[in-house]
Amino acid sequence: MSSQQDPLNKRKRALSLTEGSLLFERAKKKQKKATEFCLKEWTLIKQRDAKPWTHDEDLEANTGPLITGVPRNASMLGAFLAIMTTPLLYSLRKALGPSFNIKTYFKIMALRIYIQFTEHPPIRGVETRPLYNAFLRASSDFSAKFPKVPCWSTWSKHFNNWAFPIAWCRTHLSSAFGSLVRGVPFYVLDEKLKRYTGNSPYIRQVLTKPDKIGHWISELCVLLAQDIPFCTGVYPLTSCKAAGEKTSVLTLIEWAARKMHRLPAGKNPTLVADSYYLDTAGKKHLNDTKIPYICSVNPVRFRSQCDVLKREVGGSHGKWAAIQNSGTGELAVHVMDPTVGAKYVFTNCFKEQTRKKLRAHQIPVWGEYRYAFSACDKLNLQMAGHYWPFRRMTWSHSIDSFVFTVLLFNTYNLYRFANDEDTSIIGTKDAMIDLSFSLYAHAEAMH
């Protein structure tokens, strides 16, 4: 019986393999047609035939940004109050509830700032109550200058109860940041994965990030004169896979586009972003709203264009290729950079200079992208080593710690910008200690 079944099974297997091969060939043809359709308006630009491509605005001649609401030669307290205006504080009180008091809040924050910049992360097992001991040291220093410094129970209660709400950070605080800056040629959308290993519904694990695990907080940053970074918006992501929630990248692109202010001539500034943020929907939104962009992309999202570029470049370091869309004017560039590896950058705001020659080693778009994209990196490097040194109670406090640090460094960078010709600008730690005492004195003077 088995000898009769073997030839039959062999024929069935042969037929199934044939059918599989046919299906595979059909799928390949279908994919080829789809690729050809996607690329019908795209023209390959080879390295040897390329001309220079230039942006409408000179991104690297960054002398135009203006700061509004911050007086010339402003102090740290003046820069802080330029952000934390009375309307913003009222919006915070509305978000936190009737127990919020502005005078008490300033005193609590003054002690918080002092602790954050005078204490170091505790060594496990050395102290049983490290934050309590740190507060006693700060309270002693403040008591030498001010009467009736809040006790530990009062300070710790308000410190934990008055954390920045996430929705308030995305809207009111981000608007307050952004309202101070005008005339910026480009805004940069990037993120910080703030390390957190406790229980949180919004935890993310990204092994390519330095902190590996924590909360994803998108940042919108600009560069002021002398390449001083300034954050104009924060967007903590609260998508939760377990609950079926998801924050789309289009949501983040739309949020960033709303936060950008037009240039004096009425033009839109350029949005620069890394490969996480741009997909087909986001690219369409930017083109439809006529917002210039220079974005690194994930080749999986734009496989048709990126496969053509990859075949042209291969794996040779320093080599590049580009394709242009004749309909939209978009340009896609693929470069093998010796330091960061393979990168794909899309843009809709570069024009070909047909009468000029491309200089040796010059790569269209790539230099402008690398310079502009440094804005968020500069801010994150500034803040590194200056976060709240003690463990907070919950995941929402962890996000609050990051956003509050952004607020403090925005204050410091406003102070630097307002005193650009003064050689007596003090360093970060001294500036924050000065802010803590002056903020407490300001609170004492309030009615």
- For residue 320, count other CB atoms closer than 10 A to its CB: 24
Please, are residues 77 and 438 in contact by the beta-carbon 8 Å criterion? yes
pLDDT at 6: 65
Average pLDDT, consecutive stretches of 10 residues, N- to C-terminus, the chain (447 residues): 58 62 59 52 75 67 70 92 96 93 96 97 84 96 95 95 95 96 92 92 89 94 90 90 74 95 86 94 94 94 92 82 88 88 91 67 83 91 94 92 97 91 77 97 93
What pLDDT is recorded for position 56? 67
Q: How far apart are CA 51 and CA 69, in angstroms?
A: 44
Per-domain boundaries in the chain: 53-61+187-382, 69-165+385-445
- Return the pLDDT at 37: 42
CA distances (Å), origin 394, targets 22, 28, 85, 125, 264:
57, 51, 28, 21, 44
pLDDT at 36: 47
Give the per-residue pLDDT at 3: 52
